[in-house]
Amino acid sequence: MAVSTAQKKPTAKAPGPKDNVDAIRQGYYDRIGAYDMAPLWEVLKGLVVTEPKSVAAPKVWHYKDVRPLIAEAGELITAKEAERRVLVLENPALRGKSRATNTLFAGLQLIMPGEIAPAHRHSASAIRFVLDGEGAYTAVEGEKSIMKPGDFVITANWDAHDHGNTSDKPMVWLDVLDLPTVNFFESMFAEHLDDEAQTTGREDGDSMARYGSGVLPDGAVTFSKKTPIVNYTYERTRPILDRLKRAGDIDKRHGARVRYANPVTGGWALPTMGAHLALLPKGFEGENYRSTDGTIFVCVEGKGTTKLDDKTLEWSPNDVFVVPSWQRYAHNATEESVLFSISDRPVQEALGIWREGN
């Protein structure tokens, strides 16, 4: 390793007392630098900020703009060749890092009729939120689930998963993974399974029927960290939002909102990612809100805007948008709208560092 012996050249001007202090300090920093040490007092203010200033930027990807580009990928490469044919949604402030927020990966995956995305598993957990098409399946730990728009599908860490499209239409969904979080901890493992597709031993809807119906299989093992459910279908969840709306259970910031829960514990569906589905009635003008979990939203139905301090994001169906950590925002709906959202809130709560405010 190179040891710095650099010394400051004397300046032309006669050195004043301040220059002298700076030069002496710099000389000292160089000397301790040779031992891989640095002065905390030079970096302290950047480390212990008075409030979060996210490195991520607010951003919306309009589906009408990106849909033709996703279709083009279908002609460029097969799902098999790509392993997963995904366009990464890169936060504009974090280009090249495969991140939508500072802690979450997001991407749009295309699977063409007849294609198979081969079976693998990894330490990162994934969710799919279905945007377009109908009838492709995902198989998770032996349960094959046919996916429809609005479905929220879980692939918990180390669960084997493969996808296939047996329909006659292309299918597009949003993938969100806790990849940056897992990689931050340097705890990623991955492997391919021997067979391209898993042999599926459980019927479609099996996990929801067993665990999400107010009964539990007698003597069942409990899943404390991950939800036992594979697919929280839109068909089941959407009407609940109408019930909340009819009853007037409408949060002034979030609208009529449900949280996707692990039915065994009532906790989050995954330990690293937490998701909600919210209905904003027509004309909804949400109050200001902010929280420390940078959040990825999907507009499922309707039309509206999300106003941040210095940016307004406009959204309509299948648009994906990001609100970074601790940035103040308010939703406005010009039509009755449904928003899906997902963030790293469970991690922050587990660590005791999650905060919200207005």
Do residues 278 and 338 make contact, with C-beta atoms less than 8 angstroms apart?
yes
* Near ligand 1HN by CB under 6 A: residue from 104, 140, 153, 177: 177
For ligand 1HN, which stretch binds (CB under 6 A), given 10-18, 103-111, 199-207, 302-310?
Answer: 103-111
Locate tokens 């749009």: which residue? 108
Side chain identity, residue 191: E
Tokens of 113: 């009729």
Cβ-Cβ contacts under 8 Å for 315 (sequence gap 6 or more): 60, 62, 297, 299, 303, 304, 305, 306, 321
Residue 27: CA atoms inside 13 Å, Cβ hemisphere, count? 10
Residue 117 C-beta: closest distance to ligand 1HN, Å? 6
Cβ-Cβ contacts under 8 Å for 267 (sequence gap 6 or more): 224, 261, 346
171 vs 264, which CB is nearer to ligand 1HN?
A: 171
Locate tokens 């200001």: which residue? 288
Nearest to 64 by CA among 317, 339, 295, 306: 317
175 forms part of the interface with ligand 1HN (CB under 6 A): yes
Tokens of 30: 């160089």
For ligand 1HN, which stretch binds (CB under 6 A), given 28-36, 175-183, 318-326, 349-357?
Answer: 175-183
Nearest to 207 by CA among 154, 273, 160: 154
Minimal CB distance to ligand 1HN: which residue?
175
Q: How far apart are CA 332 and CA 329, in angstroms?
A: 10
147 vs 179, which CB is nearer to ligand 1HN?
A: 179
Q: Is 71 helix (H, G, I), strand (E, B) or coil?
A: helix
For ligand 1HN, which stretch binds (CB under 6 A), given 17-25, 102-110, 301-309, 345-353?
Answer: 102-110
Residues within window 26-85 making contact with ligand 1HN, judged by CB under 6 A: 84
Residue 85 C-beta: closest distance to ligand 1HN, Å? 9
87 vs 261, which CB is nearer to ligand 1HN?
A: 87
Residue 264 C-beta: closest distance to ligand 1HN, Å? 24
* Near ligand 1HN by CB under 6 A: residue from 109, 157, 181, 292: 109
Residue 296 C-beta: closest distance to ligand 1HN, Å? 14
Nearest to 306 by CA among 40, 80, 51, 60: 60
Beta bridge partners of residue 356, listed in sequence order: 291
88 vs 209, which CB is nearer to ligand 1HN?
A: 88
* Near ligand 1HN by CB under 6 A: residue from 79, 179, 250, 339: 179
Which uninterrupted H or E stretch holds 164? strand 161-165
Residue 67 C-beta: closest distance to ligand 1HN, Å? 18
Residues within window 234-293 making contact with ligand 1HN, judged by CB under 6 A: none
136 forms part of the interface with ligand 1HN (CB under 6 A): no
- Chain residues binding ligand 1HN by CB under 6 A are 84, 86, 105, 107, 109, 117, 126, 161, 175, 177, 179
